[in-house]
Amino acid sequence: MTIVFVHGVPESDAIWGPLRSELGRDDTICLSPPGFGARLPDGFGATMPEYRDWLAHELEMIGEPVDLIGHDWGGLHTLNVAIHRPDLLRSWASDAIGCLDPDYVWHSLAQVWQQPGEGEKQVDAMMQAPREARIESNRRFGMPAAVATTVAAAQTAEMGRAILALYRSAAQPAMAIVGKDIDKAAARPGLCIIPTEDPFVGTVDQRTRSGQRAGARIATLTSLGHWWMLQDPVRGAAVLDEFLSQRP
């Protein structure tokens, strides 16, 4: 059995370190989406469908169905694979399923990134900031110092280009269109992780509604936010361990 973790924006796989340590398993790996801790290949447009196909290809290379766990955009890539390539999965878990609710509205930062001109200004300011400023920004978001430092090293101009392309490919109604097929994710056992204080991925009602449509179990992490796996890795690992232990 292989457990695969996929992170989101604007992150690197360092966000999974504490939780993976708590799981204490030797069958976990991390996949870094192109531009987010991994090289952005020539000709890769960094759009939502391309990331879905990238992830599907990576899972094909593993050669057996996996337990796929995604955070933020990694959670959306996970759902896209669960919808289109359930044959690659043993199970899936995502904390971003609310973004596929028909009533979901992108958070304010995403809406800036989706605007030509204004998006470039904001992303350039973020990615071209001094290293210490990037670290401090990551810490304010809730990352421990060591994780914040590692993530800051991955926050480059290349990541900025990927952010703009990805968010613009996902401007509404793109997410709602993907969400129309969320029931297909029920082909494999799923876990909908709901940290109640996460302001980026839809309301608790939207996340719950979409999770139910996907036939997923609901795991509510009361008082935790977007980086739940860093805020309380012990609790996060317990939720995942319980889910994974019940898989056939």
First-to-final CA distance of the chain: 11
pLDDT score at 142: 86
Angle between helices 48-62 and 157-169 (to 10 degrees): 110
Hey, what domains does the chain have and what are their CATH numbers? 3-103+174-245 (3.40.50.1820)
Quick: pLDDT tens for 59-110. 999 999 999 999 999 999 999 999 999 999 999 999 999 999 999 999 999 9
User: How far apart are the C-alpha atoms of 27 and 6, rounded to whole Å?
Assistant: 15
Among the listed residues 132, 134, 137, 138, the one whose alpha carbon sits nearest the alpha carbon of residue 157: 134
Q: Residue 115: beta bridge partners?
A: none
Q: Give the percent of the chain with pLDDT over 70.
A: 99
Q: Are 236 and 210 in contact (CB under 8 A)?
A: no
* The residue type at 6: V
The 3-state DSSP class for residue 33 equals coil
Structure tokens at 229: 């796996």
List Cβ neighbours of 155 (8 Å cut-off, separation of 6 or more): 10, 126, 127, 134
Residue 114 phi/psi, 5-degree rounding, is: -80, -5
pTM, to two decimals? 0.97
pLDDT score at 102: 97
Q: Are 22 and 49 in contact (CB under 8 A)?
A: no
Task: Give the DSSP per-residue string, 163-175.
Answer: HHHHHHHTTTTHH
Q: Are 191 and 238 in contact (CB under 8 A)?
A: no
User: How far apart are the C-alpha atoms of 50 and 170, rounded to whole Å?
Assistant: 12
Sign of CA dihedral 167, 168, 172, 174: negative
The 3-state DSSP class for residue 46 equals coil
> How sure is the predictor about 248, in pLDDT bands with cuts at 50, 70 and 90?
low
User: How far apart are the C-alpha atoms of 241 and 248, rounded to whole Å?
Assistant: 14
- E strands within the chain? 3-6, 28-31, 66-70, 89-94, 190-195, 217-221
Quick: pLDDT tens for 160-215. 999 999 999 999 999 999 999 999 999 999 999 999 999 999 999 999 999 999 99
pLDDT score at 240: 98
> How sure is the predictor about 21, in pLDDT bands with cuts at 50, 70 and 90?
very high
> How sure is the predictor about 31, in pLDDT bands with cuts at 50, 70 and 90?
very high
Among the listed residues 151, 106, 197, the one whose alpha carbon sits nearest the alpha carbon of residue 10: 151
Quick: pLDDT tens for 114-142. 999 999 999 999 999 999 999 999 999 88
* The residue type at 158: E
